[in-house]
Amino acid sequence: MPAVPHDEWLRRAKVFQLSGGHHIDGAEEAGAGAVFPVVSPRDGRVVAEVADGGAAEVDAAVAAARRAFDTGPWPRLAPAERGRALLRLADLFEERREELALTVSLEMGKPITDAHGIELRALVTTFRWYGQLADKLTDESPHTAPDALALVTREPAGVVGAVVPWNFPLTLAGWKVAPALAAGCTVVLKPSENSPLSALLLGRMATEAGLPPGVLNVVTGDGPTAGTALGRHPDVDVLAFTGSTAVGRHFLRHAADSNLKRVWLELGGKSPNIVLPDAPDLDRAAATAAWGVFFNQGEMCTAPSRLLVHSSIAEQVTEAVVRRARELRVGDPLDPETEMGALVGRAHLDRVRDHIRHGVDEGARLRTGGDRLLAETGGTYLEPTVFDRVDPASRLAREEIFGPVLSVLAFDDLDEAVRLANATEYGLAAGLWTSDLSTAHRVSRALKAGTVWVNCYEEGDLTVPFGGMKQSGNGRDKSAHALEKYTELKTTWIQL
């Protein structure tokens, strides 16, 4: 994190300006002229007005991407050349890291320390990793009879529509855009209407770094209009989406109603975090549980929002989490000392508070939090919230809240812990704390989740895949496996 003090971030925020036109075919486009405001959750102030795209703008962006794929140089470049272009773009992100971090912090309320140190680090690392991977992929030549030669080649899938949410606007865009570009595809990126500014900067920087026109296009607008147009477009070959399970279902319907495009979904979660009495360090387990559920204001699909604790240590662990929740510094995202910023907007704040009210009505015990904070600022701040004595069948225990709300559930034996952990429609992530190696292996295999962290949470790097099971989606981001979403296998059989 650079040594930029709070007052300097405030000064930069006051003079912040960004034109909000779409980025199509390498240039800024106003579209039909309609705009919508981007409201900063830190103080309720409008920080920019952004072009409100619809079917016409999506058509233009997809047409640009189709030309760039069908007749442009990008898919035909040597993989090493595509890789060098991605590395140049990563260098540009690094050079303008503070500008991008400020944009993210203003548009979605993320603490500036996290925006700069975590979000931007992830973006830069992702583009560098896929830039370095681009020329290291291999095709296959299976063994056949002596009179034939078989080749299995990976070819870029075509035009990719990428629809990404607001909670990690650059990280999740990078996880889709970078491997798609490395594979030779062209992309139309549709960011959330809550966080369009950082995506527009990403598109403009791609052109600045030398990507040909049409290779990366950005269309801003709401989901029902611009998102639907992209999902239904017959010239989009692949649709990659991160967001809610409800919207994921819409994209599957759009594919069925249009050209049967492949749809890859990374959806919601209600992740369990299991703490056993033999955890190697109960204090660390409690501190990590609190960090995991309150990090990024709890606006995380992988948030360990269900803390499953053995009854013999439940009160000890819960009390430690409650203490940490009360110590958390909630405040202005532009203050480098802030640990938890603002929820993304008023509508989302109201939804989270509604879940809290239902939790109380359902009989769960509110141990701390639950109230709005700093309302006088115009921002959307909420106290870190912890419930225990939560009924496993309640909404609190079953529905994704996507806010800083933890549900603590006690169990008496390991079989019960696994049943509780799997008693959800989701299967994105899980945590387990134990000192027993056999327990770690057995329980990890029994948990229905795409990622299981043992004696840690939210750890990993670009070498490992990320994605979910059940209604948390399909396909994988990160790692070399992500390229499978953006390539087609072709068999060529040559009779000798």
- The catalytic residue positions are 266, 301
Q: Are 449 and 427 in contact (CB under 8 A)?
A: yes
Q: Give which of 151, 149, 178, 145 is closest to 162, Cα–Cα.
A: 178
In angstroms, what CA-CA distances link 115 with 178, 255, 487?
Answer: 19, 34, 31
Q: How buried is 241 (Cβ within 10 angstroms: 0-12 exposed, 13-18 middle, 19+ buried)? A: buried
Give the Cα separation of 163 and 252 in Å (integer): 13
Q: How buried is 195 (Cβ within 10 angstroms: 0-12 exposed, 13-18 middle, 19+ buried)? A: buried
Which helix (DSSP H) or strand (DSSP E) does residue 387 occupy?
Answer: strand 385-388
Q: Give which of 333, 355, 337, 343 is closest to 383, Cα–Cα.
A: 343
Give the Cα separation of 181 and 183 in Å (integer): 5
Give the Cα separation of 224 and 48 in Å (integer): 21
| 3-state class (DSSP) for residue 134 | coil
Long-range contacts of 112-120 (CB under 8 A, 24+ apart): 112/4, 112/9, 112/333, 112/334, 112/335, 112/336, 112/338, 113/1, 113/336, 113/338, 114/295, 114/296, 114/341, 115/333, 116/1, 116/2, 117/1, 119/168, 119/169, 119/170, 119/171, 120/93, 120/170
Residue 381 DSSP code: E
Alpha helices (runs of H) in 296-433, residue ranges in sequence order: 314-327, 346-361, 395-398, 414-422
Planar angle of CA 365, 366, 369, nearest 5 degrees = 170
Q: Which tokens hold the place of 61?
A: 């962006």
Q: Would you list the DSSP string of 237-267?
A: -EEEEES-HHHHHHHHHHHHHTT--EEEEE-
